[in-house]
Structure 1
Amino acid sequence: MGGGPGLNTVPNSNRIDKSRVLDVKPLRSLEPVFPNANQGPPFVCCPPFGPFTSGFSPFFPFGASQSSHYTPDLNQTENPSPAFVPPLRSFREPTVSNGPSSSGGLSGSKRGYGRPKGSTNLKKKEKKAVNKGPGSPASRQEESSNQNFDSGITVAEREDGNREIVLSVLARFDAVKRRLNQLLDAKHATFKSAGALMSRGVRTNMKKRVGSVPGVEVGDIFYFRIEMCLVGLHMQTMAGIDYLIVKGGSEEDPLATSIVSSGHYDDDAEDPDSLIYSGQGGNADKNRQASDQKLERGNLALERSLRNSNTVRVIRGVRDVTSQNTKIYIYDGLFSIKESWVEKGKSGCNTFKYKLARLPGQPPAFAVWKSVQKWREGLITRTGLILPDLTSGAESVPVSLINDVDDDRGPAYFTYISTLKYSESFRPTHPTVACTCRNSCAPGNLNCSCIRRNEGDLPYVNGTLVSRRPMIYECGPTCPCNASCKSKIVQTGLKLRLEVFKTENRGWGLRSWDPIRAGSFICEYAGELKDKAKLSQEDEEDEYIFDTSRAYNPFRWNYEPALVEEYTSEETLEEFDLPSPLVISAKSFGNVARFMNHSCSPNVLWQPVVYECNGESFIHIAFFAIRHIPPLTELTYDYGFSCTNGTGAGSSVCGKRKCLCGYDKCRGSFS
C-alpha cells in the first residue's frame, strides 16, 4: 500500500464498518486553465432553431468576450491537446483526368466548398498564381484569420447557458467534427473540433456547480465525453469523477459534481434507481501493478459529498446497439450518496465503494434504455403492442404499432410502400450517370462522376450526413462500385428499430428504440407524387402532404468554415429551391414517415437526394437527425407553412392547423 500508514491511505478492510465515514485532511487541487484565445477569423452564426433578429434571415451576428472561469484540461487524455488546431488545407487536392468530363458534371465547386473556382486541371504555374498574391484565397484566408472571432455566445451564457445555447454548442461541435472527418479523415478529429470551439469560446456552463446544469436535460445522450465538457455537464475528458473546490475557513474541501459510470470498474449498473460506484485509481497498467485506491482527488470529493449530503450528477456509459464499437453516455439525473465502504476488488486490492440513489420525480433515462433492451431480447412484452410489424415485411427491420394511451386499434388503412411512387406522367429530370469506380468511391477523385456531382466530396462520413445541400447524389445499382460504397445510404432503407405509437394529443407519432446519432439517416418520405398545379380541394385537405415549396423556418446546421480555418468565397447553401415543387401524398400509399408529427423545434431535417431506380434517376426526400436523439424520443420535423396574406411565420394566416408541439417559441400553426 503506497504512501505509508495514515489518514490518506485505505485502511485494512478485513473487517468493514460501513457506518464509519472516513475523516481525512483535504487535498489542494491545481485547476488547469485552458489557453485564453480571442483570435480567429470572423463569422456570422445563429442558434440552430432561431430566433432571428429583424433584418437577418437566417443568420445574425453576436458579440462576446472570453470568460475567465475554470475550463478543463484536455491534456489529461492520451490524445493531443486541441488547444492548438493547425490550419487545414483550404481545398482537397483532386485526382483529375486530362480528358473532358464524361458526365457533364462539375469539375470543381460552384458554391465555394473550399476549392478555387475554375478548371481543375490548371498547370502548376497557374495554380501558384491562383493561390498566391493579393486577393487570392490564401491571402484572404490569412487576412481573415487575423480578425476577431465572434463566438455567438455572451459572457453570461458561457457561465450559465440555457437549452437553446446547449443545443447550439453541440450542433456546432458536431458540424465541425463531421467536416474535419470529411476533409482529413482525421484520427483525432473529435479533439481538434473541440479545440476549435473551446479556443474561441464556443461553449457554455463554464462555472462548475453542484446540481443540475442549465440547458442540459435528464435523458440527453452524448457520443463523446468532450461534448459533456463543452456544455458543462462533466468537465473531465478521462477521469470518472469531477469535483470543485469549496473554501471553508482556512481549508479547502473538494465536493463531487458528477460521475461517469462507464463499466471499466466493478460498477453495478443494472438498477436504474441506484448505483454502486467504484472509486478511481489503483488500476494496473503496462508500467505497474494494481494497487490500493487512495482517499484523494475524486474519492475524497465523494466522501465529502456524502458528509455534506450534496447531490451528484450521474452519467451512465452504455454500448450503442447500432455499433458495438461505440459508447453512448446517458445523463441519468441527480443522485445522492447514501454510504461508502472499502472492499477487495477483482485485482485483490482495496477499492472504495459508494452507493448512490436516484432522486425521485425525475424523467426516466437509463430506465428507458433498460426497458428497450428487455423488449429487444424478448424478456418482457412491449406494453400496448398492437402489431409487431405494421410493414408486413416491406422493410428489412420490423416497425411496431403501439398504443398504451387509449383503445384506438390503429390508424386508418393505407398501403405500405418503402419508397417514392412515381407515376408515368412524371419523368425524371436527372439523367442516369454511372461512375467507373471498381471498389468504393474516394473523396477528391474527380474522375468519379458521382464525386463530381457532389462537388468533390462524399456527402456522408461514417454513415452520417456532413452538410445540407440543395441536392445530394448517391451511387446507383448501375455504378460498378461495391455495395458498401460510402455513397449509398438512403437507398439501403431502414436500419433503425422504429415504432409507431399513439400520442397524448397529436394522433399517431413515430419514435425509435435505438439511439440516433446527429446526421444519421432515418427514413425517406414515401408516397405518391402529385402535380401541384392539379391539386384538388380534397388534396388540399390531405394531412399527409409533403410539399417542398412551403416556407420553412431557417436554421443553421452546416459547419462554419471559419471554425475549421477553411476559406470559402460563398456561403454553403442550406435553403433548397428545387427546379419544380415536389409534392408527395402519403394518404393512400406511404411508409413510417407519414406518422412523423410537426414541431417548431424539430429534431429531424429533410434533404433532397437523387439515386437511380430501374435505370432512371429520381429525386427522393430523405430525413436525417438534427441532433443526437435518445431512445423513445418522438421524431418530428417542420411541416412548413403557406402565408397567403400574412407577413411571415407566426402570422394568423400562416398554416391551416393549430400547432401543439409545446415549444416555448412555437409559431402557432403549420400547413
Structure 2
Amino acid sequence: MEPLNGIDKSRVLDVKPLRTLTPVFPTGAQAPNFGCMPPFGHTPNGFSPFFPFSAPPQAQATQHSPDLNHVNPPAMQTPAGPMPAPLRSYRAPNPSGGLPHDFPEESNGDRESSMGDEDGYFDGHKDVAGSSSSRKKTTRGSYRKKVRRNGDADAVVLGSSVNFVSVISPAQLEDGNRDLVNYVLMNFDAIRRRICQIEDTKEKNTDSIKRADLKAGNIAMTKKVRTNMRRRIGPVPGVEIGDIFFFRMEMCVVGLHAPSMAGIDYMTLRGDLEKDPIALSIVSSGGYEDDTDSSDVLIYSGQGGITNSKDKQVAVTDQKLERGNLALERSLQRGNEVRVIRGLKDDTTPNSKVYIYDGLYKIQESWTERGKSGGNMFKYKLVRVSGQPDAFSVLQTIRKWKDGFSSRAGLVLPDLTSGSERIPVSLVNEVDNEKGPAYFTYLPSLKYSKSFTLTQPSLGCKCRNACLPGDMNCSCIQKNEGEFPYTGNGILVSRKQLVYECGASCPCPPNCKNRVSQSGVKVRLEVFRTKDRGWGLRSWDPIRAGAFICEYAGEVIDEAKFKNKGDEGEIDEYVFDTRRNFDSFKWNYEPGLLDEESPNDSVEAYSIPYPLIISAKNAGNVSRFINHSCSPNVFWQPVLYEQNNQSFLHIGFFAIRHIPPLTELTYDYGVSMSGGAGNNNGPHRKKKCLCGSSKCRGYFG
C-alpha cells in the first residue's frame, strides 16, 4: 500500500510528550498565592499551603526547570516522614479521595467549622489570618526581627532559614506520653507567644497574622513538634482527664482532637468492609443547641444545616445523615467510647474560651427534632463512663460558687487578705479541724528597709499614653533589649534574667501593659488545707501558660541577719532565697522553629543579677502558701521597676503551663549552694520533699 501523501500511517511514531506527567511546582519565591487549595478548599491568607500544593523543602533545593522535550524528567522528591496535617478541617470530596496520614479519609466533620467567637476569633471559612500578598518575608515561615543598629530603630534582621532538628522520634510521633505531651504544648505556646510579640510591633495599617495559634500550629506540625499522630479510639497517651486548652490547635498537636475547626473527629476503621466512619472525639463549646447542664450527660447536636446568628449557630435546613452525623450513629451501634471536650467562656480573658477534656462517653441514643429556626437536627445523648476523675463538673461547681448559688464547703474565711487584694482570697479546710495558719500581717508587695536598696535609680520612660510594642523611643522597652516583655493580654513572652517594668516616675497610666506584676492578684485564689503538706494555694480560674499569678511578698532581709537566725537555731519556713540552686528548665521558644538565629549569649541556667532574700514569716501575701515541687507548674521571674526614685527588685510568679482550676500551685524551692543534700545546719537545712513527683529528688532547701 502506498503511503498517503507520502505519510506511512502503519508506522508507530516515537512522539515525545509536550508536557511531563510528573507535576513540577515553582519554588517558594516563585510560587503564586493559591486562591484555593485543590481539592480540599480555601487556604487562610498568611499561611503557606502544604505539600503537594507547594514544593517541599527538598524539592525546592533540587528542582529543575521544566523541559518540554525531556521524555523522563527527574522524579519529584517527597518529604520524609508523615505528611503534616492541614490547618483547616478538610474533607475528601468523594470516597476515593485521600487525606494525609494523620487526616485519613472521612476523618473529620464540620460541625463547628463556621462558628464565630471561637478562641476569641471568627472560625468560619472566611479569611481569618490576614492577607499575605503584600507581606515581606524571606524564606517560607521566617520573620523579621527588629534590632537596634547604630540608633536606627527601623533596622531589621531577616530570618536565615535555621533548621530545627526535632527531638521527637518517629515512634513518639505516633504514640506519646505525659512528658512528651507537656513538651509539645510548651513549645507550641512558646511559638505562639513569640509570634504575638512580633505581630504586636506592627502598625495597625499593615498586614498581620490575626491568628497566632494557627500559625504556631502550622509550624509545630511542619517541624514535627507533635505527638499521638496514630489515630485511636479511647484515651490518648499522655493526655489526662481535666487537662485544659486555650486553643483548638493545642488539641491537634497532641492528638486529642484532629480537626482544627470541626467539632466532630471521625475515621474509617481499617479492614471495615462497610466503610462506615466512627466517631473518635467531639467538641461541645456552645455553638449549637447542645444541652450541657449535666456533668455526666451531654445532649449533642449534629452537624450541617446551620447558619450563623449573632451569638450562636441555628438550624435553617434539615441535617443529613452523613460525615460526622453518620459517624456518631455508627458509634451508637458499635458502642465505642468517644472522647468529649467541653468548651466554655474564659472569665479571665474576654472573647475567648477554655476547653477541658472531660473523658470518655458512650452514645446511648439518637433522634431528630425541630430546631429553633425550623430545620430538623440530629440529637445524640452521650453518657459519661463511670469511674473517671471529675473534670467539667469542677468548672460547674466553681461557677455556682461565683454566682452565689452554692456555698464553698469547708469555708473558714471568705477573704483572708481583708480587702488588701482587689480579688478576695478565701481560706478553706476540708481535711481537719485546723482553723487557719499562724497569724501574719498581710502585705500585697515587698517591704524594703530605707537603708537597703539593690540597684541605682534609673530614668523612666516618657510615654504620655500607654507604652506601645515596637516604640524604640520608650526607654523601658530599650531596657528590655528592644522588645516588649508581654503580649497584648499580659502574658509573659519568655523567661529572662530580668524584666523591666514601668515605674512610678513613668508618665504612662496605671493600666499600661508594661505594669503586669504591679496590680496584684489577677485570678480567684484560695488557700486550702492539704493532706500532708500544711496549707497550699490553688485557683478557681484556669490559668494560661505565662500568666502572672502573684509576687512573692514579705520583708527583704540582708544576708548577715539571715545567717544570725540560723546560728540562733531559729528556722524560717517562709524564706525565698535567690542564691539557691534551682533546676533550670527551658521555657523560651526554639529560635529554629521560627527561622531565627539563636543568640550567642543565651544561657539555659537561670541566674539572677542581684541577690535577694525575702522572709514572709511575719508579713507576706498568698505566695507564702505555695508549696515546693520537683515538677512545678509555676516559676519565678525577677522584675525590676522604680519606686520613690530608686529601683527595686521584685519576684513575680508565672505559670509554666496551663493550670486547671483547683490544681495546687507549686514552684521549686531550690537547694542551698552551701550544703546541698548533706547540709542540715544553719539557716539552710534540708527538708524532706513530699511532692510525689516522678522526678522528686527527695529533699529541698
**Is this a same-fold pair by TM over 0.5?**
yes
Cα distance in 1 for partners of 2:212, 2:465 equals 25
Distance in 2, matches of 1:260 and 1:569, equals: 41
Of 147, 154, 166, the residue aligned with 1:151 is 166
Q: CA separation in 2, counterparts of 1:400 and 1:646? A: 36
Give 1:563 deviation, angstroms.
1.1
Instruction: Indicate which of 235, 239, 244 corresponds to 1:216.
Output: 239
Counterparts in 2 of 1:81 and 1:529: CA distance versus 1, 3 Å: closer
- Counterpart of 2:465 (choices 428, 439, 444) is 439
**What fraction of aligned residue pairs are identical, expressed as a percent?**
55
Q: 1:314 aligns to what?
A: 340
Q: Deviations over 1:402-452 (max 9, x none)?
A: 000111111111111100010123124131412111111122322211111
For residue 194 of structure 2, give the secondary structure of its aligned residue in structure 1.
helix
Quick one: structure 1 residues 470 and 394, their matched pair in 2 at CA, closer, same or farther if it must change by over 3 Å? same
Partner in structure 2 of residue 530 of structure 1? 557
Aligned partner of 1:291 among 296, 302, 317 = 317
Amino acid at match of 1:74: R
Q: Report the counterpart of residue 104 of structure 1 in structure 2.
A: none
Aligned letter for 1:465?
L
Structure 1 pair 337/272, CA: closer, same or farther in 2 (3 Å)?
same
Kept in 1: contact 2:243–2:356 (CA 8 A): yes
Q: In the alignment, does 2:515 pair up with 1:500?
A: no
Aligned to 2:23: none
Which residue pairs with 1:203 in the alignment? 226
Residue 74 of structure 1: aligned partner: 88
Work out which of the residue numbers 250, 253, 263 in structure 1 matches 2:286.
Answer: 263
Q: What letter is aligned with 1:184? A: E
Which structure exhibits the higher relative contact order, with contacts defined as CA atoms closer than 8 Å and separated by 6 or more residues?
A: 1
Post-superposition CA distance 1:600-631 (Å, at most 9, x none): 11111100001222332210000001111111
In structure 2, distance between residues paired with 1:240 and 1:610: 45
Deviation string 1:16-44 (CA, Å, 9 cap, x unpaired) is: xxxxxxxxxxxxx999996489869xxxx
CA distance in 2, matches of 1:166, 1:448: 39
AA aligned opposite 1:512:
S
Corresponding position: 1:364 with 2:390: yes
- 2:353 is aligned with what amino acid? K
Shift of 1:235: 0.6
Instruction: Please tell me the residue identity of whatever aligns with 1:154.
Output: S
Cα 1:224/1:539, change in 2 over 3 Å: farther
Map of 2:276 onto structure 1: 253
Q: How does 1:255-654 map to 2 (within 5 A)?
A: 255-284=278-307, 290-461=316-487, 462-535=489-562, 536-537=565-566, 541-573=571-603, 575-642=605-672, 644=674
Partners of 2:596 and 2:652 in 1: how far apart?
28
Equivalent-residue separation in structure 1 for 2:579 and 2:57 (angstroms): 41
Indicate if the aligned counterparts of 1:66 and 1:201 stay in contact, CA closer than 8 A: no
Any idea what the Cα deviations from partners look like across 1:276-303, whole Å, max 9, x if unmatched?
00011110259x9821111111111111
CA distance in 1, matches of 2:85, 2:142: 25
The 3 A distance-change label for structure 1 pair 207 and 398 is same
Tell me how far 1:670 sits from its aligned partner. 0.8
For residues 655 and 179 of structure 1, what CA distance do their matches in structure 2 show?
A: 40
Q: Which residue of 1 aligns with 2:62?
A: none
The secondary structure found in structure 1 opposite 2:462 is coil
1:469–1:573 Cα contact (<8 Å) kept: no
Is there any run of 5+ residues in structure 1 with no aligned partner, and where? 1-28, 41-64, 93-114, 132-136
Note the C-alpha offset of 1:577: 3.1
CA–CA separation in structure 2 for the residues paired with 1:66 and 1:359: 40
Q: Is the 8 A contact 1:458 1:486 kept in 2?
A: no
Alpha-carbon separation, structure 1, partners of 2:685 and 2:274: 62
Q: CA deviation at 1:304?
A: 0.8
- Counterpart Cα distance in 1 of 2:686 and 2:80: 45
Matches of 1:253 and 1:69 in 2, distance apart? 24
Question: 1:538-572: per-residue Cα shift (whole Å, max 9, x none)?
Answer: 58721111011111111110111111122344254
Query: Any idea what the Cα deviations from partners look like across 1:456-497, whole Å, max 9, x if unmatched?
Result: 111110210001111111111221112221111101111211
Q: Secondary structure at the match of 1:551?
A: coil
Query: 2: CA distance between counterparts of 1:295 and 1:576?
Result: 57
State the Cα deviation string for residues 57-111 of structure 1 (Å, max 9, x = none).
xxxxxxxx9642784552655457999984444422xxxxxxxxxxxxxxxxxxx
With the length of structure 1 as denominator, give the TM-score of the two structures: 0.81
- SS of 1:608's equivalent in the other structure is strand
* Equivalent-residue separation in structure 2 for 1:425 and 1:477 (angstroms): 20
Which residue identity lines up with residue 514 of structure 2 in the other structure?
S
* AA of the residue aligned to 1:324: P
2:184 equivalent among 164, 169, 187: 169
Say whether the 8 Å CA contact 1:312–1:334 is kept in structure 2.
Answer: yes
Q: 1:648 Cα deviation (Å)?
A: 11
* Offset of residue 249 of structure 1: 4.9
Number of the residue aligned with 1:194: 217
Superposition deviation, residue 455 in structure 1: 1.0
SS of aligned partner of 1:457? coil
One-letter identity of the residue aligned with 2:582: Y
SS at match of 1:413: coil
Given that residues 473 and 611 in structure 1 are in contact (C-alpha distance below 8 angstroms), is that contact kept between their aligned partners in structure 2?
yes
Is residue 69–residue 206 contact of structure 1 (8 Å, CA) maintained in 2? no
| In 2: Cα distance, 1:519 partner to 1:73 partner | 25
**1:182 is aligned to 2:213:** no
Give SS of 1:323's match: coil
Read off the aligned partner of 1:625 and give its amino acid letter: A
Within 2, Cα distance between the matches of 1:66 and 1:585? 56
Structure 2 CA distance for aligned equivalents of residues 182 and 379 of structure 1: 40
SS class of match (1:168): helix
**Counterpart amino acid of 1:164?**
D
Is this contact kept in 2: 1:160–1:214, CA < 8 A? yes
Aligned length in residues? 576
Structure 1: distance between partners of 2:315 and 2:333: 32
Q: Answer yes or no: is the 8 Å Cα contact 2:490–2:516 preserved in 1.
A: yes
Identify which range, 165-174 or 557-566, moves more after superposition: 557-566
Shift in CA distance, 189/510, structure 1 to aligned 2, threshold 3 Å:
same
Deviations 1:253-281, CA, capped at 9 Å, x for gaps: 21100000111111111110110000111
Letter paired with 1:510: L
1:160 aligns with: 175
Q: C-alpha separation between the residues in 2 aligned to 1:557 and 1:282?
A: 44
Aligned to 1:6: none
In terms of mean alpha carbon deviation, does 181-190 or 450-459 score higher? 181-190
How far, CA to CA, are the matches of 2:569 and 2:326 in structure 1? 67
Partner of 2:12: none
Taking the aligned partners of 2:496 and 2:482, their CA distance within structure 1 comes to: 13
Q: Which of 111, 115, 120 does residue 151 from structure 2 map onto?
A: 120
Structure 2 counterpart of 1:663, from 676, 690, 693: 693
**What secondary structure does 1:91 align onto?**
strand
2:102 equivalent in structure 1: none
Summarize the Cα distance change of 1:423–1:87 in structure 2 as closer, same or farther, 3 Å threshold.
same
